[in-house]
Amino acid sequence: MTATDRRSFLKTATAAGAGLIVAPQISKASVSKQKKKDGEVNIAFIGCGGRGRGHLYRAAKTEGVKITAICDIDPEAIPKAQKILTDNGHPKAEVYSNGEHAYLEMLKREDIDGVMIATPWLWHTRMAVAAMKAGKYAAVEVSAANTMEECWDLVNTSEETGKPCMILENVNYRRDVLAVTNMIKDGLFGEVVHGRCGYQHNLLNVKFNKDLKFGEGAKGEARWRTQHSLKQNADVYPTHGLGPIAHMLNINRGNRFLYLTSTATKAVGLKDYIQEQGGVDHPYAKLPWKLGDIITSVIKTANGESIIVTHDTNLPRPYSLGFRIDGTDGTTNFDMGTKRIYIEGKGKYDKWDDFQKWQDKYDHPLWKKYGDIANGAGHGGIDYFVTREFINSVKEQRQPVIDVYDAAAWSAVTPLSEASIATGSSPQYFPDFTRGDWIKRKPVEYK
């Protein structure tokens, strides 16, 4: 943002008479003049690894999207990204790869409207903040922030610049998730009182290469992700589970997270894996892992619900986000392995009912309309919707459905869980990232 821009922005904000906290209005005012020729938007990419290229691929296939700049420091990633572009009828993009801060160079370009960020966790917030400061819409992979200060960086920058920041939480778009969201809205479960979710994913072969290598010189996420298990005892990856439940419970929109407690088990899973794979004399066999194998956080909300969030990535187990919703008229578990539902008076007493039947009945309009396209697009279709929503928000110069307050509140579980675990599960209070606005903000409508 140039000095002139900032002055003009501040003038708009003051004219609105509401100061910095009315981000959506400011956003509309300050970004409208950047609009490109009818409907066309320019999306740039920071991080062209597997995840980034997925977004790139979907963006390249979207009508009205121009891609002129990509950024990655991994020389292997760039040609793969360029091939996606040329395979899909786009010219090659300009490449920014000169060191860790090459993205700052790219962000100086005036032709870019939005930036999708898919990099190691520690870069998410600083890149999103830089993108917003450069006047771009930011989209950032999960989690959006690592520390409480970073959560505030996202919120404050978005409010100051008037640029939205979307957290790319694809699970919010799962067909069963959106159907249950509809069921809740329709009152099927009565008054909802409780939710459960979590990231329960055996990452043993993600955290370690086949030769057990991790850290510098390792391939893939083992290069950077594993270090968090060595140094941090926290729910370092809360949003795949919590994002959907947060929207179901209208968090930041008439409700908010009040506090949590977190309890970590001992950390023995990674040690066990290394010793099984590499023997008890392996140089890594006695590393002092910090990340408890299972971390249980219990969140209390302003509206009186509780939410259990699980983080479980060090143990052998089938993948599961373990969703559950309980209300005064019924309950459901919807998980990869188990989907079941019980609605009072709508089936046999004390017996689970077939979930699919109810999912079909409450299928979300988005899935009815785009389900066929989505299904081929990655992670069972959900990636299609999350990329689409970001691009649409840029095209329509509006806040994305998943916004910066979501990014901050969901990501805040990481530092809060760390503090709770470090203090014998003492309760930790969530900041109100909306600065009071949650009381009047309206529930999400997925578009």
Sheet holding 323-327, edge to edge: 353-354, 339-343, 330-334, 323-327, 192-200, 306-312, 294-301, 257-264, 428-429
CA dist., res. 232 & res. 235, Å (int): 9
Stretch that binds its own copies, among 87-95, 104-112, 187-195, 238-246 (CB under 8 A): 187-195
92 forms part of the interface with its own copies (CB under 8 A): no
d(CA 444, CA 21): 19
H or E element at residue 332: strand 330-334
Using the minimum distance from each CB to its own copies, give the nearer residue, 82 or 200.
200
Q: Which of 221, 272, 432, 437 binds its own copies (CB under 8 A)?
A: 272
Beta bridge partners of 259: 300, 429
Nearest approach in angstroms of CB 304 to its own copies is 3
Q: Which of 93, 151, 248, 315 binds its own copies (CB under 8 A)?
A: 315
Considering only 35, 185, 213, 300, the residue that binds its own copies (CB under 8 A) is 300
- Cα 61 to Cα 64: distance, rounded to the nearest angstrom: 9
Choose one: 47-55, 107-115, 188-196, 244-252; the region binding its own copies (CB under 8 A).
188-196
d(C-alpha 389, C-alpha 172), whole Å = 12
Q: How far is CA 191 from the centre of its chain?
A: 27
Cis peptide before 158 (omega within 30 of 0): no
Question: Can residue 269 be called a binding residue for its own copies (CB under 8 A)?
Answer: yes
Q: Which of residues 326-385 bind its own copies (CB under 8 A)?
A: 326-331, 337-338, 340, 342, 344, 350-352
Instruction: Based on the shown chain and the rule CB under 8 A, indicate whether residue 248 belongs to the binding site for its own copies.
Output: no
Cα gap 391→186, rounded to integer Å: 29
Q: Secondary structure of the chain: what % helix, strand, coil (to 5)?
A: 40, 20, 40
CB under 8 A: which stretch of 29-37, 69-77, 245-253, 264-272 binds its own copies?
A: 264-272
- Which of 56, 264, 391, 394 touches its own copies (CB under 8 A)? 264
| Listed ranges 14-22, 23-31, 104-112, 257-265: which one lies at the site for its own copies (CB under 8 A) | 257-265
For its own copies, which residue of 8, 156, 209, 425 counts as binding (CB under 8 A)? Answer: 425
Residues near its own copies (CB under 8 A) are 190-191, 193-194, 202, 259, 261, 263-266, 268-269, 272-273, 292-294, 296, 298, 300, 303-306, 308, 312, 315-319, 326-331, 337-338, 340, 342, 344, 350-352, 424-427
